[in-house]
Structure 1
Amino acid sequence: MDVSLEMVISYFFLVVVFLVNLGDGQKYDCPELSCGSSGLPIRFPFRLNSQPEYLCGYPGFNLSCTHRNETVLELPNSVKLFVKKINYVSQVIQLTDAQHCLPGTLRGLDISSSPFQFRNVPEYEYSFDNYTFFSCSLEERKVHDSCIPCLSGPNHQVCAFHSSCSFDYLPNFVPNCTKIYDIPQIPRDIVFGGQNFLELKWFTPACGHCEVQGKKCRLKKNRRKSRTECFPEQSKGASLRLRNVGAIVGSFLLVLLVFVVVRVYRYDKIEKQNQTKIKLFLEDYKNFKPTRYSYADIKRITSGFTEKLGQGTYGTVFKGKLSNEIHVAVKILNPSKGNGEEFINEVGTIGKIHHVNVVRLVGFCADGFRRALVYEFLPNNSLEKFIGSADTNNCFLGWEKLQDIAIGIAKGVEYLHQGCDQRILHFDIKPHNVLLDNNFNPKISDFGLAKLCSKDQSLVSMTTIKGTMGYIAPEVFSRNFGNVSCKADVYSFGMLLLEVVGGRKNTDLTLEKNSQVYFPEWIYNLLEENDDVRLLVEDDGDAEIAKKLAIVGLWCIQWHPMDRPSMKLVVQMLEGEGENLTMPPNPFTSSIGPTRIKASMHPRRVNQELEVIPESE
């Protein structure tokens, strides 16, 4: 079971969504709303039209908001009134109209089909009657006391009379009258008292007692009839949210615990497999005699890892000493990198070989999951430190010394290819992996990517790209250039030589505003035009050395492996006279003049296919 952090996060997200949705489905109360920030509080039994009808409010208690955030109640027969107050304790709602003329607004109202009733307040002397409204002319400009000013006009007046009155005597009071409409069961004070607000009361649902207790009211669920119940304000929602949060956090912690347990189990299983692999290797290796140290010895040798020399992909290097005279470099391997192959490669290759140009393995540590390698200490650091441009004269070693270093590296690589019982392919030749002793003698180091094959075979099969960008041979990237062999190290060595000549890193490209120059071709163009390839010049002899190093480097970086010389031939070329060297074929073509240059494939030789063989275990 392969559990990743992304899977844990995805599972946690799904749990959150599920529980939040579950919690929302269990809520019985609806949130209190309002029309605007300063509007009246709207809660059960009322509901805004934006709330779900099946969940919130009671039938007939629908409210809406105007564009000016005014609260509106619609009564039967499309009578719409503005809500001024809502008293949830006494269950009374106070209404008004926009024209401030309720007798006209309430025209056609039938309160009997509404859940509300007119409020009967004794001190207001409310009495409810049926009234008939007449429109009468003003021939004598006399206004009757039964007429309503807000409905009357300059040429007529509207009067209201009890519907039970005999219409025979009406002309005696107001002549020329015509009936216009009836309003049943309306308070007298609304008709004749000039009251500009209306108070309605509701009895169902009965929620006033809940408000008196400081509680809220809501519909009961799972009932055939719409019954109500009281509940403490926000207690249900708060406890539900608390349960949801607890469930979410608990689920996440549970998943996190499972994730940690699985990762620890997998790491422990893999580490045990690595330790078993290393143990079997060390049992076969014990005859080669490098000293085996415990982790306590490593801490003592490095004085508790106090002096750090450098850090790489697979580990950190510290300075240590075996005695006052013998100093060492201790590489602590990262337990999270590789699967033990880095350790086995280092010990299995360096421990078996002894050459003046290969760093010597003094000992190793394989103490549980802690692994370390102990090398001879080389005080002048790596060759990379001494490769620079013209503004770094203090680090420049001189062309004769650089030639000696190049020859030493070439002899070291040749020894790996031909001088051991098994052929060793380094796969990471670069200035950083060439260390220099007190006399600036080079020693090849870092065999973490090395592969072994028998001497009578020349190729290895590879499933992954190995090496450092800028030094990796083309065939390692694509088999269109040929099969992977020891010529991959020749290519890397060639790039190292060009870096020595050019005084720059091959992992970079020279970028200009409108052009991009491939660094090896820049060297090739200088040679073709008989320009000086040196960046630091002392005399004519230096110029010949620089030219020789450049020509050998260009031979080594030919695109196809079969076009490159062997390391034995490279040593002979470096040790010989520069004037005897011929320029290699140009593997580059320029598509847009001398400033924008791209490398192209050199035509491949035919009938040079080689059999691919697996690397040795």
Structure 2
Amino acid sequence: MASSPASSSIALFFLLVLQVITSETASAKTCPISQCSPNGPDVRFPFWIRERQGEECGHKGFEVSCDDRSRTILHMSEAGDFIVDAIDYGNQTVLVKDSDDCLPRRLLEDEFVSSYSPFPAPAYKNFTFGNCSSEYSSLISPGSGVQRVDCLSLGRGSMVVVSVAGDDLARLWMSQHHCGTWTALIPWWWQPPTSLGESIWLRWDDPDCKTCEAADGRCVLQDSKKGPKLVCAHKHALSTSAQFAIASLFMLPWLTCIFGFIWFLKVRVFVHRRLDQISSNGVPGSAPPNGINREAVEIARRNAIGVMGIDSSTIESYPKTQIDDLGQLPRPQDDVCAICLSKYERNEMIRTIPECEHYFHMYCIDQWLRKNASCPLCRNNKG
């Protein structure tokens, strides 16, 4: 049995959706998300772990590795290695700290900001450092404007403090305690630092995947004739081309049915008009030309316009009987007309279908047979 347009379109729809989802899932499986530890940050494009993912899963300058303590280590060329605490793929930022817990010393190194680094610092801020006697360590308070940098306080009897340059309270504190001072530019990425803590946010601009991440997608590298190119793979959504293909496949069977139905109506009207011309020869009431049988023309016309009943002359040939004053019927148990569901009354006319001998009210069965060539009870075809 031929399938309907609806079932065909639905089948094509699900097949295409399955193909698109399968292809996108395959892309995601090529470069799976990885972690150095269950609590560690997710590592995915543009970052990649050399031991677990290939170079096609990441971008240059974003290589990480897992150390013997299951920490995620970011390799920053000349600047060295840093521990990764968190990665924000939507804002394209990464939180790092020094593996030796001395971030201020790393920030003072010229190699920290390199022209080869994918994490360029957009701005810098001046910080004032002071080399002071350690006997004043207990006098450092939140209101003093300075903070002690333990990892830089390596000299015996001395300590290093730091503050934002231009802080009057910090400058007064260092002056009162006879600290030797110097100023250094510290790079910043996310927001201007007010102090030098244990970690710092770095930002990257290339590759730019913010729009893709905002659309709940993931950037992946896809092979092309010109080499690998960056594309956005959506896990649940479909691309514009896939949506257009699905809509086309869904609408095609329906459009075919609509145009086919219009064509059928045109052919039906044409045949109907042509048969009318043959039956009347252009003049109402005239006989058909060339001895064409009027009854045959009438049957052909009725079939052409979709009328599947019996012609009037045939109906009139079926036996008709008037119920007498006593209301006697051919079969007393059949005392209800199956068409109108009314009981037969005295003096009413009934008509019997010869082939099956079922009878009905004459006006009921006449109207029925003009539209249907079968018995209402047994459905035997009379045409």
Give the TM interval when normalised to the shorter protein.
Answer: 0.3 to 0.5
Give the structure with higher Rg (CA): 1
TM-score normalised over the length of structure 2: 0.42
TM-score normalised over the length of structure 1: 0.27
Higher relative contact order (CA 8 A, sep 6+): 2
